[in-house]
Structures are given as structure tokens and as C-alpha cells.
Amino acid sequence: MARLPAGIRFIVSFSRDQWYRAFIFILTFLLYASFHLSRKPISIVKGELHKYCAPGKKDGVRVSGQSQTAGSVPTHQLPDNETDCGWAPFDQDNYQQLLGALDYSFLCAYAVGMYLSGIIGERLPIRYYLTFGMLASGTFTALFGLGYFYNIHSFGFYVVTQIINGLVQTTGWPSVVTCLSNWFGKGRRGLIMGVWNSHTSVGNILGSLIAGYWVSTCWGLSFIVPGAIVAAMGVVCFLFLIEHPKDIACSPTLVAHSKSYENGTHRFRLQRPAVPDEKLLDPETQCLLLSDGKRPIRQNHVVLLPAADSGSSMAAISFTGALKIPGVVEFSLCLLFAKLVSYTFLFWLPLYITNVDHLDAQEAGELSTLFDVGGIFGGILAGVISDRLEKRASTCGLMLLLAAPTLYVFSTVSRMGLEATVGMLLLSGALVSGPYALITTAVSADLGTHKSLKGNAHALATVTAIIDGTGSVGAALGPLLAGLISPSGWNNVFYMLMLADACALLFLIRLIHKELSCPGSATADQVPFKEH
């Protein structure tokens, strides 16, 4: 019999389970990337909502650079040598406070809604819950952009759309993390989720490029197009998302696949699903997640409890019950400050680049994507290191320790030219985003499946929502503080960010000490799944 073509041999070298896992990995990646794609336009458009252009008068009437499609914009008195081309009400001297309030409206609503979202999400099918959130988010993202076409200058209109959008976007994170954790075991979780969490940076980059394309000509489309993309991905979610392996008779844990093809025969070899009495060392026996703080007993086996069986017989965990899981409070407070730094960059970096490097809104938006490129590498690096060392808190602590002086250097050299700015954007993005990415993914999944829960599959969404919800409080405060502090000078903003990094590190000190006092950890061949 003829030998199979190389492409077909590649396809059949993976089992049915592995193909489904790859599909869910890619699908959830794209779903959450679209959420971040819709959050980025506001930071790109800020430079257009308030900007100065060359003065021009015709017959005593000011000529504005604003597109005529949007209608005339109310004017106010300016010096003869300066003309304000901004969009009312953001054309006033207090524009930084108004723009900061927009960020705060979205992020504060997101933080409050996140605590409720995890509890609600545990009690509803993930596919329906996530689809609703994406359709609603797409609608309100586009609604913000319609303010351009309908010539809306009410500050309240933009605040309300931001608040509602922040609330509905809370459906995303608990849903995708729970779904991904259902499909992947705990082995190499840091690497898998580090790669997967790059959706944040990919979404930010795409959002910057899409919003930047229209920002100078028709900024309304900078919101409408991302809104349409989020809504379209909501339809994709409804049609294709599979919440749990048991829904299509896949094994609950990833198993090795033997390559059993030779000359076209035995192309598939069915794998025996993992059963409860298959015993492997759970990496959560490490010191970090022990509730009593004692050294772990070196066990040869622990029982893996399939979520399909346990989830139906256990009630959803309470909010206070989730807080009692060892490490949840510390990592939540750490994320509060880490996310404060990350979201300040997310919402204010393009405007900072515009002011410092004197670029227009489109160029600043494109340059700001380098921060997210660095974030991709930072998230993957954090996952790889934490998997290898099996010390999540120590990995976060090291990156936070390096991030603070890096921010100081960035504030200094970014004024020296574009070349220096490019290098510092990449480095700062890696160090700022690394701890944030690790805590919101691998750490949240570790704590949500902690051994003290005895296999309760309902806990993951609540734990994830608590950690990310607390972090979102910092995400709301960061841009607000930046708006209030920036009029006194951008250096003060960077001092605030460095202080936040130091506070994040302080909350991990106890966990880092516990990890470093642990004499050993699980070896590579004792994780729940491995490749042969």
C-alpha cells in the first residue's frame, strides 16, 4: 500500500481529542482578543477628541479641522495663534479630567460587574452567557462611535455607553478561562496560558491599528468597526464554542497520543480515557497553595476528579468560600496594583507619545502597539519560568522588581527620540504585562482548582472573577489617577506607576517566602499530562 502523503500523516498524528483542544484554544483566543480590540479605540481617539491644529480663519469665522460629516462643532475663544480642533465637550481645558472620567466609568463598571459575573456565570451555560456579552459589547462600542455621525456632544451620553459596555464585558474573562481550564490539565499550565494570554496584546494591537486607520478622518468608525467585529465573534461563539470535553465525549484530561501509522495502516489508535484511579502527582502540592503552611508530603499519587462527575453533584462555591482558598487574597491585591500600571499604559500611552514625541494620533497609536508586542513575550516568558521553577509568586515578584526601575528609565529616555522609545516600549511591555498575564491565567486556574475544593468544578469562575475583579479596581484607578496627575507633569504619573509596582510586590512577599522555603517540587514527568 502506498505511503500516506506528509500532510495526511501530520493530520492523523494527532488524536481527535487533541484537535478539539487546539480548536478550543484558538477559538477562545480569538473571542477574548476581540474584547480587547474593542477597548483600545478610546485611547487612540483621545488625541483626536482634543487636539490643536494650525489656526485658520475665513471671513472672521474659524475653520476647524473636524470632518464636516459630523456637523459643526461649537467654538470657544482661543488666542489668535491657536485654534482648537477638538470634539466638544473634550475641547475644554479640563479635557484630561474628562477623558480620565471616561476611562474610570468603563473600568469602575467593569470592576463592580466582575464580582457578579463569576457568580452568574457559574449558574448559566458559558456559551449563552458569553454570546450575550459579546453582542451587547459590540452594540455599545458601536454606539459610542455613532456619537460622531449624529453630532452628539453630551458628556453624559459617552459616560453611559462606557458604563454599560464595562458591565457587559465582564461576561468574557470568567467564561473563557473556565472553558480553557475545562479542556486543559494543570501540566504546563503556565506555558499554555502564557501563550494563550497573548490574546490581550494581539487584541490591543489590532484595535490600535483599526482605530488608527480612521482616527484622523472619521473617528466614529474607530468604534463602529471594532464593535461589529465583537458582535460577529459573538455569533461565532454561539455556533462553535464547546464548554466541556464531556459534551462531545472527549477525555477530561489530555492524554498522550501514540503515532501508530505505518504504510497507511492503523492510522488511528483510540486512546483510553483517563479514569479516576490513574494517579499522578498534582503540582498544587507545592508550598504556595498549602492551606496549613506545612511542607508538602511527597506523594506518589493523587486522584484526579473529572469535572463531569463532580460538577453535577456540588453546589457553586460562595464568595466568602472562594476568599478562603490559600493565595486568593494575596494574588488579588497584587493584581490590583499590577493591573493599575497595565491599564494606565493601555488608556494613556498613545496620548503620552503624542505629547512627548510630537506625533499625530495615528502614528502614536501605531507606535504604542510595541508595548503590547513586548507584553506577548512577557506573558509567555512568565509562564515558561513559573512552570519550570513551579514558583508562580516568585516569578511575578522578580518581574515586578525589575519593572519599577525600567519605568523610571522609560520616562527619562522616551524624551530622547524614537529609537530610545521603541526599545523601552518593548522592555516595559514585557515586565509590566508578565505578572498581570500570569496571575489572571495560570494562577487563577491553579487556585480555582485547588485541592481544598475537592474537585468542585463550579469554583473556577468565581475565583477567576474575584481575582480579576479586584485587579479591575486598580485598572479603574490607574487611568483616573493619570488624568488627574498628568497636568502636573508626566514624570509624576511614572512615579505613581513605580509606587504601584512596589505595592504589588509587597503583597506577594509572604507567598514568595513560602515558595523559597519549599525544598522541592514536582518533576516534569509527574505532571497530569506529558508528551512522549
In this predicted model, what pLDDT tens digit does every residue of 307-330 receive, in sequence order?
434 334 455 566 777 777 888 889
Residue 76: what pLDDT?
40
- Among 412-421, 422-431, 454-463, 497-506, the minimum mean pLDDT is found in 454-463
| Per-residue model confidence as pLDDT tens digits over 469-494 | 888 888 888 888 888 888 888 889 99
Residue 99: what pLDDT?
87
| Per-residue model confidence as pLDDT tens digits over 128-141 | 999 999 999 999 99
Closest CA to 316 of 171, 490, 123, 491: 123
Cα–Cα distance, 518 to 496 (Å, whole number): 34
Residue 268: what pLDDT?
42
Mean pLDDT, the chain, whole residue set: 77
Positive or negative: CA dihedral 445, 446, 448, 451: positive
| Per-residue model confidence as pLDDT tens digits over 147-162 | 999 999 999 999 999 9
pLDDT at residue 369 tops 90: no
Residue 203: what pLDDT?
92
DSSP per-residue codes, 145-174:
HHHHHTT---HHHHHHHHHHHHHHGGGHHH
Alpha helices for 254-391 (secondary structure H): 307-313, 319-323, 328-357, 361-389
Contact 395, 386 (CB under 8 A): yes
| Per-residue model confidence as pLDDT tens digits over 227-269 | 999 999 999 999 999 998 999 888 765 554 444 444 444 444 4
Residue 315: what pLDDT?
55
| Per-residue model confidence as pLDDT tens digits over 2-22 | 788 888 888 888 888 899 999
List the CATH number of the domain containing 144: 1.20.1250.20
CA distances from 111 to 174, 349, 444, 464, 471 (A): 13, 21, 16, 13, 8
**Which residue has better confidence, 310 or 104?**
104
Cα–Cα distance, 376 to 201 (Å, whole number): 6
| Per-residue model confidence as pLDDT tens digits over 111-129 | 889 888 877 877 789 999 9
For residue 280, being part of any structural domain is answered with no
For residue 196, being part of any structural domain is answered with yes
For residue 490, being part of any structural domain is answered with yes
Cα–Cα distance, 119 to 391 (Å, whole number): 29
Look up the domain containing 418 and give its range.
13-49+87-245+318-517
CA-atom Rg of the chain in angstroms: 25
Q: pLDDT class for 449, splitting at 50, 70, 90?
A: low
Cα–Cα distance, 427 to 357 (Å, whole number): 18
For residue 37, being part of any structural domain is answered with yes
Residues 325-347 have a mean pLDDT of: 89
Residues 29-52 have a mean pLDDT of: 88
Q: pLDDT class for 401, splitting at 50, 70, 90?
A: very high
For residue 268, being part of any structural domain is answered with no
The three cell numbers locating residue 484: 488627574
For residue 311, being part of any structural domain is answered with no
Most confident of the ranges 66-80, 201-215, 358-372: 201-215
Residue 346, C-beta contacts closer than 8 angstroms, at least 6 positions apart: 39, 40, 43, 204, 479
| Per-residue model confidence as pLDDT tens digits over 163-195 | 999 999 999 988 998 888 888 866 566 778 878
Rounded to two decimals, the pTM is 0.69
For residue 277, being part of any structural domain is answered with no
For residue 286, being part of any structural domain is answered with no
Number of domains in the chain: 1
Contact 185, 526 (CB under 8 A): no
**Which residue has better confidence, 26 or 302?**
26
Residue 358: what pLDDT?
72
Closest CA to 394 of 287, 298, 475, 472: 287
Closest CA to 174 of 435, 462, 448: 462
pLDDT at residue 214 tops 50: yes
pLDDT at residue 345 tops 80: yes
- Among 29-43, 164-178, 388-402, 461-475, the minimum mean pLDDT is found in 461-475
Residue 62 backbone dihedrals phi, psi, to 5 degrees: -65, 135
